[in-house]
Amino acid sequence: MKRGQLISLSFVLLCCTSPPASPPATTSDPAPAVFHWPVTVADAEAFVAEAEEQLATQWFETGRASWVAANFITQDTRGIAADSQAELVALNQQLAAESDAFANLELPEDVRRKLRILKASLSMAAPQDSELQRELSEITTEMEATYATGRHCRPDGECLDLTAMDRRMAESRDPNELLDLWVGWREVSPPMRGQYQRFVAIANLGAMDLGFTDLGELWRSDYDMEPDAFTAEVERLWKQVEPLYEALHCHVRARLAEHYGPDQVSLDEPIPAHLLGNMWSQTWGNVYELVGPAESDPGYDLTGILRDQGVDARGMVRFGEGFFSSLGFAPLPETFWQRSLFTQPRDRDVVCHASAWDIDGLDDLRIKMCIQITGEDFFTVHHELGHNYYQRAYNQQPPLFQGSAHDGFHEGVGDTIALSITPEYLVQVGLLDELPPSDADLGLLMKMALDKVAFLAFGLLVDQWRWQVFSGAIDPADYNASWWELRERYQGIQPPVARDESSFDPGAKFHIPANVPYTRYFLAYILQFQFQRALCEIAGYEGPLHRCSIYGSQVAGERLNDMLELGRSKPWPDALEALTGQREMDASALIEYFAPLSAWLEEQNTGRSCGW
């Protein structure tokens, strides 16, 4: 459970609770604090200390309940999780409201920062009305359960869960099957549409109770800058990477048109969303063999290597732990191996979405993931452990400082570790016998870009949609149309069949029903390259950035740990400076990383009509 995300219930990648079948017994509201006026600095310090104690206790209880609900999806576990979440919502909301009593005091910086975090870290704000708090909790748990238990039943009677559909989307090249899978999964989300509209209305009331105009403004206030300034900062970063994204899009569209024909892919229109090897078209690595450089092979198949060597799910995690051990980090606690979920059970539904958990703010670290023996999941395991090691590094901080400098840091740290899964690293750990020739670099860069660069547009637009929904700029009657307008504008993607407002395609993406802010991933995809460049320099590496692995560099590990231990005790520019020497997020390291590929794409796109 990720500390500092007060009522997101942590989960780094998710918050997973499930709804009761009928309304559970009403829990009593927390007793409001009694202040004697005028309040003093000592009052504020005492309030913060008591708030942290209460929150730490409730985080622990809610984390355990949510873990059980995500791993044993039943009416009872949904009810227990909903009860616990409702108590946490009420406590969060009360403490955030009471913190206003100290707004006009001159306070020590750490106290002032903790009071701000009490408000700004809420990913879901609930009104002070206990009935609305209960309704909000039930709506969110219901939406998550609908998503987690979704199935698509085909005409032949075969029913597929999302894991199975994901696998087929990655492997199939039959446009009819891909269309069936794409449409089939989106049959799961229409029941959420009315629930989501009601969720927005209630959550906005909660944000307004805290002094924000809407929930989106509350989210954007948690970045040590004004909300409008943060919006501009995100756009600035996008403009740095947009030319590279457009060059990749142009090449991928041309190659897909060659494979599928002009009746499926037009060279002057957005790419049909079902042909990119991923249920949401958010990453494109699964179509590498259709769009990669014809003259350049990556030199190895990591999925094949893992399977040939008999690596199992637990073995995948051991490789990840070994990476951190090589940097000087202590091994994971034994309870991690006893309590984590590594494989999908055969006897029950679980929420398979990969996530890292910190249950107690001390050492009860876990991951929950239905690990597949694939190269993609090998990277994901390293990423998830990045969260766990970050969680452990800041566990000496006070509870309100147990979190990342901003949410993009948490995701970025995990991804930085995954960037070091280079051929050099695979040789060092015995998964490769020898390094592929350097002329394979172009293929490796293309595979990386199809995931990292292709993701940037999607990572940006999810919250662009939500911010406008929360503000009222997008009317409920236009939920679906606006979603696809943004997907076309940023991604150059279009639906393969007509979509109307009877659908709710945003709800087919986990983070919408689970109410997990998404801009963190966009920021992480920028920061990971900035982190990596700095760590490679610290490790003394000389050479192309894309060939660098920090595996085995304890000096790099020490510098990384220095940043991790800060948690969120300092503004994020301070944390960034501690690792990189820079105080501004910067995409130039990403551009440097992909420079050889960028030059190749420019050659390939000569004479093509790019854009959409």
Of 382, 383, 406, 410, catalytic: 383
Of 249, 387, 410, 546, catalytic: 387
C-alpha to C-alpha distance for 119 and 247, rounded to whole angstroms: 41
Of 354, 356, 405, 418, catalytic: 354
CA 440 to mean position of chain CA atoms? 30
Cβ neighbours of 48 (radius 10 Å):
26
Q: Are 394 and 401 in contact (CB under 8 A)?
A: yes
Q: Are 480 and 312 in contact (CB under 8 A)?
A: no
Strands (E), 455-509: 493-494
Of 249, 353, 406, 410, catalytic: 353
Buried b (16+ CB within 10 A) or exposed e, 528-540: bbbbbbbbbbbbe
387 is catalytic: yes
354 is catalytic: yes
Residue carrying structure tokens 């913060």: 48
φ/ψ of 356, rounded to 5, equals -115, 140
Q: Are 560 and 535 in contact (CB under 8 A)?
A: yes
Of 394, 479, 521, 551, catalytic: 521
User: What is residue 489's DSSP assignment?
Assistant: I
Task: Say if strands 355-358 and 493-494 run parallel, antiparallel, or are unpaired.
Answer: unpaired
521 is catalytic: yes
410 is catalytic: no
Q: Are 234 and 522 in contact (CB under 8 A)?
A: yes
382 is catalytic: no
411 is catalytic: yes
> What stretch of H or E contains 153?
strand 152-153
Of 384, 393, 541, 593, catalytic: 384
Of 251, 382, 410, 511, catalytic: 511
Residue carrying structure tokens 């920028």: 526
**Length of the chain (residues):** 612
Provide CB contacts within 8 A for 376, sequence distance 6+.
285, 303
For 9, the token pair is 């219930």
50 is catalytic: no
C-alpha to C-alpha distance for 462 and 183, rounded to whole angstroms: 20
406 is catalytic: no
Beta-ladder partners of 355? 368
Q: If 0-12 CB within 10 Å is exposed, 13-18 middle and 19+ buried, where does residue 47 land?
A: buried
C-alpha to C-alpha distance for 420 and 550, rounded to whole angstroms: 6
For 402, the token pair is 């147990």
- The residues annotated as belonging to the active site are 353-354, 383-384, 387, 411, 511, 521
